[in-house]
Structure 1
Amino acid sequence: MIGKENLFTDEQMKQFIANGYVMIKPNVPTSLHKTIYQKLDEVVAKEGNPGNNLLPRVPEIQEVFDNPVVRGAFTSVIGPNYIMHPHRHPHHNGPGSKGGGWHKDSLGGKVRNHRCWWAMALYFPQDTPIEIGPTAVMPGTHYYLSRNNDVSEVKFPACGEAGTMIIIHYDMWHQATANLTEKNRFMLKFEFARMQWPIEPTWNNQQEDWKSIEGPEPANDQTIMWEHLWNWLSGKSTKKTPNRASESEISQWMTALRIGTQPERLEATNQLGKLGENGQEAIPALVDILGDPSEPVGLNAAYALGNIIDQESVSPLVDALNHDSETVRRHATYALTSVGLPATPELIDSLTHESEHVRANVAYALGEIGSSNSALALSKPLDSDSVVVRRNVVESLGIIPDSFHISIPTLVKALEDPDKQIRFTSVLSLARIGPDAEDAIPALQSALKDEDRYVRGYAVEALKQIGPPESKEILLDFLTTTRWCPSTTRESTF
């Protein structure tokens, strides 16, 4: 049990939602960080980068991630029972390094989640002043697929003393900066996955509704989106009481959508979104700017539409899934996810659409909406020729509750898919289902022999999550065979 003192405050959660990161410092002895740095420095010098074998090679790192401060941070942003992804990497920034380019980590071509199903830890075992080349993040950019390349982009270097850790949303734009010293700089990256839908706040929550951040906010005001994500993380399934506005105010905001400056268009989308069902007349204008040249404006339009649209008015958004512009299609998908259950019937009908990108986005949105009524329809596209459709199907089946009698046989079948991402996502989905996936144990035992390292890694986690004696025996046998001895090196083989 994590004590409240180790959970994020409301202010930290708002910073994470809006800016995409929070800095923390595990309360472990400084000597532990020193040991980790020294061992890692030696390993890299003698053996090269250990990659995914980082933990067994330097097992002291696990003490850092078991610390209540770290566990409290991840419990806050991705809920209890989160898991550590089998991929982890020590990023070595050597003396004289010029740094690296801005990037997001790969996600295999699927729609990127605004809702926090994934998070990362960037841990620095050495003192990390600006001169040694810390990793820098770009606050507020975790929701943007593209760079804005304007004044809204701010570079934040994660400087701090040994043990500093920055918790970031998986989709944050980040880069290595130049190392101007004669020392090695290590940043240890670990990924973590949410295992269950949020049903209540998992941080030290005091405020029911979203309120403005006390500290600096990103340059782009995306309140309508931040409110949605706050509510989702809080487990809220109902929308706020809609605001009211005069006809002249609504007309002014709709005019701003057409001819206003970028900040004015952002403000207009925020205000129209707050109207909820009272903003129906703005639907066509908001749909028209889903592809706004400014990605933040298009996203705000999507979440405004999510607040306004009901089952009777959802068709324009579903139609937008077949737009020529990938940006419009993507933003329409986020909007439909925000609409929620009222969008489900039309989305299910669209699973048989002739367009691959429509079917793929529909499969993603149905998972994010989470209606058990969609599980049966979602299981059918598993026979699709489209890899991206199948990838989204198997991920969605793992997060839709109360449909396991349909999901489990479908996911077991997907373990034979030729696409490795479909196989490892299917195993992750079975891990998320947990004890109810007991029928999948034989298939998971076979998955321990899969040629792909992440299928095997997730299979270990799935057997752990399912939990009966049979799965534990299989798991122990596998781990006994594959165990790593951290003392064994080229210099000391026995």
Structure 2
Amino acid sequence: MDAPVRLTDAQMRQYIADGYIALDIDLPRSFHERVYARTQEVFEKEGNPGNNVLPRIPALAEGYGHPVVDGALRSVLGDGYYMHPHRHCHHNPPGSPGQTMHIDSWARRRHTTRMTMVFYYPQDTPAERGPTGVVAASHSYNDRPEGDARWDEIKLAGDAGTVVLVHYDIWHRGTPNTADEPRYMMKFLFARMDEPMRPTWHATGEEWRDDTGFHPAMRETVWNWHTGAPHAAGSAGADDMDELLPRLGADSETDALDAAYEIAGAGEAAVPALVSELSHRSARVWRGAGYALSSIGAPAVDALTAATQSDDADTRNRAAAVIGDIGLPAATATSTLIDLLKDPDTTVRQHAANALGIVSQESGDAILPLIGALDDGDEWVRRFASMSIAQLAPNMNGEMHALTPALGDDNRYVRANTMFALRRAGTDEARERLLDELAVARWCPTTTRETTF
């Protein structure tokens, strides 16, 4: 297998700034024509295959496993990334009016990269054929940014074989298709399994550089996080708090985001006021406080841990979410997050289950409590718990038998995450159990209604 082609410093800066980057894969045009023909056949005979698009069109594995795609994913997600079981072929038929601009529903609304999408067109997709449209640099925004030419829609038009790596939270849509032929776009999701410890792109040791002057502290903070040396890039001091805190609620989200990342530069001195803002009624304010606290990192963990004991469920779940976003420097909060798996509020349990797979990656302490959370009645608690177990699976030590009942969970993603956990566990016993499950779950790509055996 060819070595992965990792992103350069310049490409990584582009991804952090714009939220997407086009990739050039050198597969022959005949490959894309075969994928397009097979896609049309599947849609005509069976309809949209949904998550089963890969076994129905197995050639996609060659495209998504291409060294350029693999290298880009390693660059932004780390070497141990996970091809998420959710993938979809977006069919844009002739005459369609297009979609409204949106963020996908699973968005975590965080600025570091823990999930990405990779788009692929198997056919030529000029502007009139309804390519996906994105708003560059919008992946940091909770509301669709508008108001000047910076936020104009960019149509990701291109020839057959166009591949674009996209931050999961970017604002995007399918644009109107005024051509006579359908447009197919394969969308695959990929997730980070391991927190960054070093740069995983072709890094040369450069510091952040950006000539635009747009969101300088935010972008440099995200760059620092990707290098494995997270630290806030804001320049504020304790004396600036009175001026900056009210700006978390600014009418302009651009101004509010800049204020959040500048405040983070004040470090520990800013923590009490920011934690207090987690209880604010305005989503813009409490989210901004969360961005600042996660950028401050370890000095904020004790105060956030205390906030998880609030009588207010919203404060508890926001504090748990920020702890998770801090990552490994918040490992001291592991026991508190484990306790929150039993919280009466569903959203708190969801955030705790998600956070444990991030903050406790250097131990196996959370594995059994997370396995216990797989009995939760809430689907999303189980989904987050199973993903966290997969993240922690290299630390497994005798928990496999307790985990394997999740292979029969009603939710498809819990089952898939559990299989990936067995793969990551890496023991002979885990591999045998995984092979047993795959033998039963085997999907034959050539078995159809016309050829059943």
Normalised by the length of structure 2, the TM-score is: 0.96
Correspondence 1:171-320 to 2 at 5 A: 171-212=169-210, 221-238=214-231, 273-274=234-235, 276=236, 279-310=237-268, 312-320=269-277
Greater displacement, 370-379 / 78-87: 370-379
1:339 aligns with 2:296: yes
The residue number in structure 1 matching 2:339 is 380
Secondary structure, aligned partner of 1:352: coil
Aligned equivalents of 2:394 and 2:197: distance in 1? Answer: 19
SS at match of 1:481: helix
Partner of 2:389: 430
Displacement of 1:2 in angstroms is 7.0
Is the 8 Å Cα contact of residues 79 and 196 (structure 1) preserved in structure 2? yes
Q: Which residue of 2 aligns with 1:15?
A: 14
CA distances 1:427-480 after superposition (whole Å, capped 9, x unpaired): 111111122124332233111101111111111111111121111111111111
The separation in 1 between residues aligned to 2:156 and 2:396, in whole angstroms, is 41
State the one-letter code of the partner of 1:308: A
Q: Could you say which residue in structure 2 is the equivalent of 1:473?
A: 432
The match for 2:313 among 356, 380, 393 is 356
Name the SS for the 1:45 alignment partner: helix
Assess if the C-alpha contact under 8 Å between 2:221 and 2:231 holds in 1.
no
Q: Hey, what's the Cα distance between the residues in 2 that align with 1:142 and 1:377?
A: 31
Structure whose CA Rg is larger: 1
Pick aligned residue for 2:129 from 132, 135, 146:
132
Q: In 1, Cα distance between the equivalents of 2:300 and 2:275?
A: 9
> What's the secondary structure of 2:91's corresponding residue?
strand
Shift in Å, 1:357: 1.3
2:154 corresponds, among 142, 153, 156, to 156
Q: Would the aligned equivalents of 1:2 and 1:72 in 2 still touch at CA under 8 Å?
A: no
- Over residues 177-200 of structure 1, what are the superposed CA-to-partner deviations in whole Å (9 max), with x where a residue is unaligned? 111111111000000001111111
Secondary structure in 2 matching 1:309: helix
* TM-score (normalizing by structure 1): 0.88
Q: Tell me the distance in 2 between the aligned counterparts of 1:45 and 1:101.
A: 26
Q: How many residue pairs are counted as aligned between the two chains?
A: 450
The 1:2/1:204 distance shift into structure 2, 3 A limit, reads farther
Q: Which digits, 9 at most, give the CA deviation of each residue in 1:303-353, with x for residues without a partner?
A: 11111122x442111111111212211110111101111111111111101
Task: Supply the AA of the counterpart residue of 1:181.
Answer: A
Please give the alpha-carbon distance, in whole angstroms, between the structure 2 residues aligned to 1:29 and 1:203: 26
Taking the aligned partners of 1:123 and 1:179, their CA distance within structure 2 comes to 17
* Structure 1 unpaired stretches of 5+: 241-272
- Taking only aligned residues, the RMSD between alpha carbons, in angstroms, comes to 1.6
Q: Distance in 1 between matches of 2:451 and 2:383?
A: 35
For residue 399 of structure 2, give the secondary structure of its aligned residue in structure 1.
Answer: helix
- 2:187 is paired with a residue whose SS is strand
Residue type of the partner of 2:185?
M
For the pair 1:410 / 2:352, whether they are aligned, the reply is: no
Task: Please state if 1:116 is matched with 2:109.
Answer: no
Secondary structure, in 3 states, of the residue corresponding to 1:105? coil
What 5-or-longer segments of structure 2 have no aligned partner? none
Query: Sequence identity of aligned pairs in percent?
Result: 40
SS in 1 for 2:249: coil
Distance 1:49 1:198 in 2: 36
Distance in 1, Cα, partners of 2:15 & 2:93 = 30
Residue equivalent to 1:262 = none
Is the Cα–Cα contact under 8 Å of residues 423 and 430 in structure 2 kept in the other structure?
Answer: yes
Structure 1 residue 163, shift from structure 2 partner = 0.6
User: Quick one: structure 1 residues 283 and 356, their matched pair in 2 at CA, closer, same or farther if it must change by over 3 Å?
Assistant: same
| Residue 160 (structure 1) shift | 1.1
1:25 is aligned with what amino acid? Answer: D
Task: Return the alpha-carbon distance in structure 2 between the equivalents of residues 291 and 437 of structure 1.
Answer: 44
- Specify the SS of the correspondent of 2:160: coil
Change (3 A) 1:2 1:329: farther
Cα separation, 2, equivalents of 1:309 and 1:237: 13
State the distance in 2 between where 1:238 and 1:208 align. Answer: 16
Aligned counterparts of 1:121 and 1:148: Cα–Cα separation in 2 = 23
Q: Which of the numbers 422, 439, 446 marks the counterpart of 1:463? A: 422
How far the C-alpha of 1:206 sits from its partner, in A, is: 2.0
Alpha-carbon spacing, 1:94–1:314, altered in 2? closer, same or farther (3 Å):
same
Q: Distance in 1 between matches of 2:201 and 2:227?
A: 9
State the secondary structure of the residue aligned to 1:439. coil
Q: Kindly state the Cα deviation for residue 238 of structure 1 after the two structures are TM-superposed.
A: 4.7
User: Structure 1 pair 471/53, CA: closer, same or farther in 2 (3 Å)?
Assistant: same
State how far apart, in whole Å, the 2-side matches of 1:438 and 1:162 are.
47
Give the 3-state SS of the residue equivalent to 2:380 in structure 1: helix
Letter in 1 for 2:143: S
Cα separation, 1, equivalents of 2:116 and 2:103:
12
CA distance in 1: counterparts of 2:399 and 2:284, whole angstroms? 38
Whole-angstrom distance in 1 between the partners of 2:231 and 2:110: 21
The equivalent of 1:97 in structure 2 is 96
Is the 2:232–2:295 contact (alpha carbons within 8 Å) kept by the matching residues of 1?
A: no
Q: Shift of the alpha carbon at 1:32?
A: 1.4
Matched with 2:44 is: 45
